[in-house]
Amino acid sequence: MSQPPSTPAAVPATPGSSPASRDPQRPRIFNGSTIHGLRGTSRLRHPVEIPLLVTCILLAVVIYVLWIALMTWLILVPEPTGAGAQLRDLILEAPDSSITQLLLAAPALPLILWVLRALMYAQMRAQSVQMSPTQFPEGYRMVVEAAQQFGLRRVPDAYVTLGNGVINAFASGHGFRRFIVVHSDLFEVGGSARDPEALRFIISHEVGHHAAGHTSLWRVVIMNLMGNIPLLGMALSRAQEYTADNHGYAIAPRGTAGAMGLISAGKYLGAQVNTHALADRATREKGLWLHLVNWGSTHPVNTWRAHALRDRSRPGRIMIRPRESTAWFPPTHPAGSDWSDIWPTPAQVLERLDSTRPLVPAEEQFGRYPGVTYQVPRDQLRWASPVPVPAAPAGFQPSGYGFHGYSAPAGTQAPGGAAPSQGTTPAPGSTAQPGGNPGNIQPGPEGSV
């Protein structure tokens, strides 16, 4: 694995010097939260995030220019006639006051968000448990190590807050301060007796939001404005989530299965989720209704997200589902978009259940085979690397619904991970690595799980 970037040491203080001169590496408006500058670590960023961001910025500028022109017209022409009178009534006297509220709040949106983020930060400081070397040190070390790996100039604050059953974590900020919050129900999954790598993935995901600049005030303003634009704002949000997932994978690839199981089935059943089955369904569940669900979501749907984390040969899908040819295993059941007359009968399914053997207990649920050396270090994305991508496990070809059961060829390993490409050798330095609410102002949490 490549060595994490080292943070430059602070300049020793001298009498009478300003804080800026004593510490030139502190975060500023134009240098970004990381030592890599405003762009962060570009190889970990989803390739469409920046183009979408630029489009949103240009559209936001147009919106503000139109707002200024509209307000100027309303002031200069207080009593318009004809179509102008109808427009004025629509804006100022509409039964639904949301249009008026949006117009009045638009110029004050940065200030409103600044205040709301300050209150959120104060609430965490006042009521939540702060991680530290003496309080939840296991989780705090994960925060610090991720901050060092991503080159953050400062370690963000980290808090554990009462979850009351909610499985979530988020990243936010106030001014140059950055912090992450982990709900207690999610944090308990990361205990030493459970799956600490799943917690490491989620914490690294949230720190990745900071490293990628997603929690800066101007980015949050853009996201709140674009949340009212169909498709575009949510697409940018999903691209940011894929970027944060790439950061999580760079630190904790072994935690991807636990994290996906956790956010899909909860803290009690998450360990039993077959993440391969979840990822393969991304290629087979199709149709307009399914795509509408994804297009209206701030996060990629779980099936698409699992597929992107498993197959590192290409970035996660933003608008269109992955091709069915990228599935690794035969389908076990028709997709929801298939005709109902091909769905199995109860007798067929019972026969399948009786004939299906369980997975080997020691077998990995997701990702890579244990003890196998792979070509690409875990902190490098496969779709950003020229080396071959591991093939699907031997003996598994998508064909039919398989109600006859499956028998693995002699000498092959049972389902559970991607086998390395044949005839390849590890690259130098590689190591064996196992496996919105549109219309409302959202001060955060930016980058929730």
The amino acid sitting at 243 is: T
Q: Which residues, in sequence order, are CB contacts of 30 under 8 Å at separation 6+?
A: 38
DSSP bridge partners of 183: 161
Q: Which of 215, 213, 208 is nearest to 244 (CA)?
A: 208
The answer to whether residue 6 is domain-embedded is no
Q: Which of 241, 243, 174, 171 is nearest to 207 (CA)?
A: 171
The predicted pLDDT at position 96 comes to 59
Angle (CA) 152-153-157 rounded to 5° is: 75
Which residue in this structure is represented by tokens 């980015």? 219
Contacts 24+ apart (CB under 8 A), 130-139: 130/157, 130/158, 130/159, 131/158, 131/159, 131/160, 136/160, 136/187, 138/190, 138/192, 138/196, 139/182, 139/187, 139/190, 139/199, 139/203
The answer to whether residue 327 is domain-embedded is no
Distance between CA atoms of residues 316 and 241, nearest Å: 10
Q: Are 143 and 203 in contact (CB under 8 A)?
A: yes
The b-or-e profile of 352-363 (16+ CB within 10 A means b, else e) is: beeeeeeeeeee
Ramachandran bin of 175, using left for φ above 0, alpha for ψ from -120 to 50, beta for the remaining angles: left
The answer to whether residue 329 is domain-embedded is no
Distance between CA atoms of residues 203 and 3, nearest Å: 20
Distance between CA atoms of residues 104 and 82, nearest Å: 24
Please name the helix (run of DSSP H) or strand (run of DSSP E) that holds residue 169, with its range, or none. Answer: strand 169-174
Distance between CA atoms of residues 108 and 117, nearest Å: 14
Q: Give the helix ranges, DSSP H, for 285-415.
A: 288-295, 302-310, 346-355
47: DSSP letter = T
Distance between CA atoms of residues 257 and 277, nearest Å: 11
The predicted pLDDT at position 162 comes to 92
Distance between CA atoms of residues 223 and 218, nearest Å: 9
Give the Å distances, CA to CA, from 233 to 49, 311, 318: 11, 26, 12
SS3 203: helix
The predicted pLDDT at position 344 comes to 82
Residues spanned by the domain of 67? 49-262
DSSP bridge partners of 178: 173
Q: Which of 221, 120, 127, 226 is nearest to 173 (CA)?
A: 120
The amino acid sitting at 225 is: L
φ/ψ of residue 235, rounded to 5: -65, -40
Question: How many structural domains does the chain have?
Answer: 1
The answer to whether residue 288 is domain-embedded is no
The answer to whether residue 175 is domain-embedded is yes
DSSP string, 325-343: GG--S--SS--TTS-GGGS
Distance between CA atoms of residues 193 and 313, nearest Å: 33
The answer to whether residue 306 is domain-embedded is no
Which residue in this structure is represented by tokens 């064909």? 399
Q: Which residues, in sequence order, are CB contacts of 399 under 8 Å at separation 6+?
A: 330
Structure tokens at 58: 């240009």
Q: Which of 201, 205, 204, 203 is nearest to 257 (CA)?
A: 201
Q: Are 131 and 160 in contact (CB under 8 A)?
A: yes
Burial class (CB in 10 A: 0-12, 13-18, 19+), 89: exposed
The predicted pLDDT at position 293 comes to 93
The answer to whether residue 2 is domain-embedded is no
Please list the pLDDT of the chain residue by residue as tens digits (449 residues): 334 444 333 333 434 444 444 444 777 777 777 888 777 777 889 999 999 999 999 988 888 888 888 778 877 877 777 777 777 776 666 655 665 666 666 778 889 999 999 999 999 999 999 999 999 999 999 999 999 999 888 999 999 999 888 889 999 999 889 999 999 988 777 665 578 888 999 999 999 999 999 999 999 999 988 887 889 999 999 999 999 999 999 998 888 888 998 898 888 788 778 888 889 999 999 999 999 999 999 999 999 999 999 888 889 999 999 998 888 878 878 888 887 878 888 888 888 778 766 554 434 444 444 444 445 444 444 444 333 334 444 544 443 444 333 333 333 333 333 333 323 323 333 333 333 333 345 555 566 77
Q: Which of 221, 116, 232 is nearest to 174 (CA)?
A: 116
